[in-house]
Chain A
Amino acid sequence: MVLDTPTLTRLALAALAAPLCAFAIAGLALRSRPRAAAALVIASGALTALATLAILALADAPIQQVWTWLRVGDTDLGFGVLLDPRSRLMGAVVGVITLLVQIYSTGYMAHDPGRTRFFALLALFEWAMLGFAYAPDLLQAFIFWELVGLASFFLIGFWYDRPEAIAAAKKAFIMTRVGDVAMLIGLVLLFALAGTLDIRESLDRLHSLLQGHGITSLQVEVAAALLFVGVVGKSAQFPLHTWLPDAMAGPTPVSALLHSATMVAAGVFLFARFEELFLLAPLTRSAALLLTAFTALLAALLASVQVDIKRVWAWSSISQLGTMLAGLAAGGLSSGLFHLTTHAAFKALLFLSAGALIHHYGTQDLRALGRAGARRDRLTMLGLLVGAAALAGIPGFAGFASKEAVLTAVHDVPGRAAATGFALLVIGAGFTAYYVGRVAFLLLRPTAAEPHEPTPPDAHGHPPTTAMSASILTLTLITLALAFAGPLVASLLGQPLPELALAHAVPGIAAVALGLAVAVFDFGRKSSAPPLFERVPALHGLLLRGFYVDAIYQRVFVGAARLCARALHFAETRLLDPAADGLARLTLAMGEGTARGQSGQLQRYIGVAALLLACVALWLGFAE
């Protein structure tokens, strides 16, 4: 069954309107009624999920419907929906994951006094992300892109009485803004080259202009590179990656959403949306491939030493996003988006089950969680292990199929850059398997507490509620099912997944096997030998501090900003203020001085005037 165009357009508009209305009503009218707000937001989420799923399943040819809201010169500023395979897939991912996170949040946030605001912001987040996914217009895409950033700023800083949450929110906002500025310039350049705001039309025009030598390939490269900087910021790729691990300061459901279907996925989706542009810019593509593959390895290394379970998943997100982007940069549209889809499911699952453990045991420390008895939460652990298996890329699970698709896509690209990227990705996959195994063993086979480790706080926690368990179970099933969704995604996007040749798959599978083996060796035995990285204390310290990237940024950029601020403060308090004060004092003194001459006596004034006139007359007379 295929729905007709008006119905699909209406469905898309409903999917957009529902969360916006829920946000407005919950945020404005239901401040004191959290249960009603949660119910409303979940109802809107369910509506949106159903609508996006229907759009995904029941559409055929691409649909584009744009309403002009402003005409500037010859340019129409439009708002509308573009339902092509990419946006339909992305929209469905957003709808389903958001709904599950919203349901989960009723349990996780049950005791939070600000939960009305929380649910309202979740709805805002969903609306922004969906508006971005469905955007047919450069300007609309940019507006919703920024709204996604704004909503995540609010949600990361949700606990506004915690300084680290405020700092993390600010950091996320400012660091992504760095990329956004470049991206805005890129969008403007794209508009200048193609002369239209319509995304698909601008890409078509760019293609024909380039063939007719209307524009140079350098211009296209620059536009693509600028857009890629925006992707780097949003998807937390090196060197703009440090905000994502800090974003853990937000509530866990937010992390689940932020890391899977929204925010960071927006960067990947932007790359997929402009895939045709990147295909015209081979230089940028190669650079992007190398950079993202490097990020994938770097983040996997950093994830291997974290003790905070949320930070492990955060670094793993950066690593997986790098993998997706590498796939897209290699031209594997369906591989990249397939990995985006599977990752959205299993990363949401990993965060939600980690959140359930944190909710129950009141700590985020992996070792403490293991010791507190995390393995007794059967359902949660089942979800976590399924997600972990998918993340590690164990054959038969979702992550395996999609990651192998990406690896093959990268492998199929000729050239040294792609070969290097492939090697980086394979090594990254090995470390991914290693840290996943590490988390699993630390939770399942707790070690005895070492004296210097902090004791977990007294657990006031609650076991996961039915809503939380239901969400985790649903996501577990989705994750398991997605292992077989590759061909569906490929046929939807009209680009077959690359053939899984044994020669290409062997390095990846071998790396995963090796990583898992090392993890078993390090954490699976009753042994007092320190694990892999702790044997080299210098490297371990380097990894724990994220290769000092944050410290360097702190020194260079924050330091420079502070220095500037101090110089300006000096200039204001020591130069400008005294100057203004002195001017004021001078004026006052002059006024007081002249006021003394004002007696108020009329005749004295007249006398002085007459005297002066007489003097002038005499002077004129003698001058002759």
Chain B
Amino acid sequence: MTPLTAFNLCALALFCMGLYGVLARKNLIAMLIGVELMLNAASLNALAWGRYGLVDPAHAAVSGQILVLFIIGLAAAEAAIALAIILAVHRHRHSVDVDDLDTLEG
């Protein structure tokens, strides 16, 4: 097993955990944590590919890291917005259970 494969498998495991969290947990904050895990999986993949190939060797070392920096910034912003939305939902409905939020039912 090459190091790249090992990192990829690790990222896959992280992503699946995150997806499971998003799909299975009923608490909005837990779902948000799942989303963060999925983002981290993507970051890990980016770093691994940046370090071990697939990208132009001349910029290989930094391009993956730059991408990850952007992802971290994005994740911070996303977390802030998502938490604000969750707070607003809680104020209105006194609940953060995702099953209660079904007013768009057709």
- Size of the B side of the interface (Cβ < 8 Å), in residues, is 13
Asked if A600 contacts B103 (CB within 8 A), the reply is: yes
Contact (A601, B102) CB under 8 Å given A606-B22, A610-B19, A610-B23: yes
Q: How far is B102's CA from A601's CA once the two chains are assembled, in angstroms?
A: 6
On B, residues with C-beta under 8 Å from A are: 19, 22-24, 31, 98-99, 101-106
Residues B22 and A603 in contact, CB atoms below 8 Å apart:
yes
Would you call B105 and A607 a contact (CB within 8 A)?
no
Q: Does A527 contact B (CB under 8 A)?
A: no
Quick check: is A595 within 8 A (CB to CB) of the other chain?
yes
- Min distance, Cβ A208 to any Cβ of chain B, angstroms: 81
Chain A residues with Cβ under 8 A from B24's Cβ?
603
The answer to whether A602 has its CB under 8 Å from any CB of chain B is: yes
Determine if A452 is an interface residue (Cβ-Cβ < 8 Å): no
Q: Is the CB of A599 within 8 A of B105?
A: yes
CB atoms of A596 and B22 under 8 A apart: no
| Contact A602 B103, beta carbon cutoff 8 Å | no
Interface membership of A598, Cβ < 8 A: yes
Any chain B CB within 8 A of the CB of A454? Answer: no
The answer to whether A603 and B98 have CB atoms under 8 Å apart is yes
Query: A598 to B23, Cβ gap below 8 A?
Result: no
Tally of contacts, chain A with chain B, CB under 8 A: 32
- A68 interface hit (Cβ, 8 Å): no
- Report the bound CA distance from A601 to B24 in whole Å: 12
Chain B residues, Cβ within 8 Å of A601: 98-99, 102, 105
A223 to B70, CA, bound (A): 82
Residue of A nearest to B22 (CB): A606
6 closest A-B pairs by beta carbon, nearest first, are A598-B106, A600-B105, A595-B106, A600-B102, A600-B104, A607-B23
| Contacting residues, chain B, for A600 (C-beta < 8 A) | 101-106
- B63 → A minimal CB distance (Å): 23
Q: Which residues on the A side are within 8 Å of B106 (C-beta)?
A: 594-600
Kindly identify which residue among A594, A596, A599 contacts B102, using a CB–CB cutoff of 8 Å.
A599
Q: How far is the CA of A603 from the CA of B102 in the complex (A)?
A: 10
A148 CB → nearest B CB, Å: 65
Tell me whether chain A's interface is mostly helix, strand or loop, or mixed: helix
A positions within 8 Å CB-CB of B: 594-603, 606-607, 610
Not counting A599-B102, A607-B23, a sample of 13 additional A-B residue pairs whose C-beta atoms are within 8 angstroms of each other reads A594-B106, A598-B106, A600-B102, A600-B104, A601-B98, A601-B102, A602-B98, A603-B22, A603-B31, A603-B98, A606-B23, A610-B19, A610-B23
Cross-chain pairs A/B with CB under 8 angstroms, 30 sampled: A594-B106, A595-B106, A596-B106, A597-B106, A598-B104, A598-B105, A598-B106, A599-B102, A599-B105, A599-B106, A600-B101, A600-B102, A600-B103, A600-B104, A600-B105, A600-B106, A601-B98, A601-B102, A601-B105, A602-B98, A602-B101, A603-B22, A603-B23, A603-B24, A603-B31, A603-B98, A606-B22, A607-B23, A610-B19, A610-B23
Q: Which residue of A lies closest to B98 (CB)?
A: A602
CB distance from A594 to the nearest CB of B (A): 7
Residues on B with C-beta less than 8 A from A607 are 23
Inter-chain contacts of B98 with A (CB < 8 A) = 601-603
| Alpha-carbon gap, A597 to B104, bound state (A) | 11
Bound Cα distance from A603 to B30, whole angstroms:
13
Bound CA span A596–B106, Å: 6
Closest to A599 in B: B105
A480-B99 Cα distance, complex, nearest whole Å: 104
Contacts of B19 in A (CB 8 A): 610
* Complex Cα–Cα for A594 and B104 (A): 13
Chain B contacts of A594 at CB under 8 A? Answer: 106
Report the minimum CB–CB distance from B52 to chain A (whole Å). Answer: 20
Query: In the complex, which residues of chain B have a beta carbon less than 8 angstroms from the beta carbon of A598?
Result: 104-106
B24 — nearest CB in chain A belongs to which residue?
A603
Which residue of chain B is the closest to A593 with respect to CB atoms? B106
- Nearest to B38 among chain A residues (CB) is A610
Within 8 Å CB of B99, what residues of A?
Answer: 601
A610–B106 CA distance with the chains assembled, in angstroms: 21
Q: Among the interface residues B98, B102, B106, which one has the most CB atoms of the partner chain A within 10 A?
A: B106
Taking the nearest CB of chain B, how far is it from the CB of A615, in angstroms? Answer: 15
Taking the closest CB of chain A, its distance from the CB of B44, in whole angstroms, is 18
Q: How far is the CA of A602 from the CA of B99 in the complex (A)?
A: 8
Tell me the complex Cα distance, A601–B104, Å. 8
Task: Point out the residues of chain A lying under 8 angstroms from B102, CB to CB.
Answer: 599-601
- Across-interface contacts of A597 in B (CB, < 8 A): 106
Compute how far the CA of A585 lies from the CA of B55 in the bound complex, rounded to whole angstroms: 55
| Nearest Cβ on chain A to B11's Cβ, whole angstroms | 14
> What CA separation (Å) do A596 and B105 show in the bound complex?
8
Q: Give complex CA distance A603, B22 in Å.
A: 7
Residue of A nearest to B101 (CB): A602
A610 to B15, CA, bound (A): 12
Shortest CB distance B24–A (Å) = 8
List A contacts of B31 (CB < 8 A).
Answer: 603
Whole-angstrom distance between the Cβ of A73 and the nearest chain B Cβ: 61
Complex Cα gap A602–B22 (Å): 10
* B61 CB → nearest A CB, Å: 27
A388 to chain B, nearest CB (A): 87
Q: Identify the closest chain A residue to B104 (Cβ).
A: A600
A606 to B19 Cα, complex, angstroms: 9
Docked pose: A552 CA to B103 CA in angstroms = 70
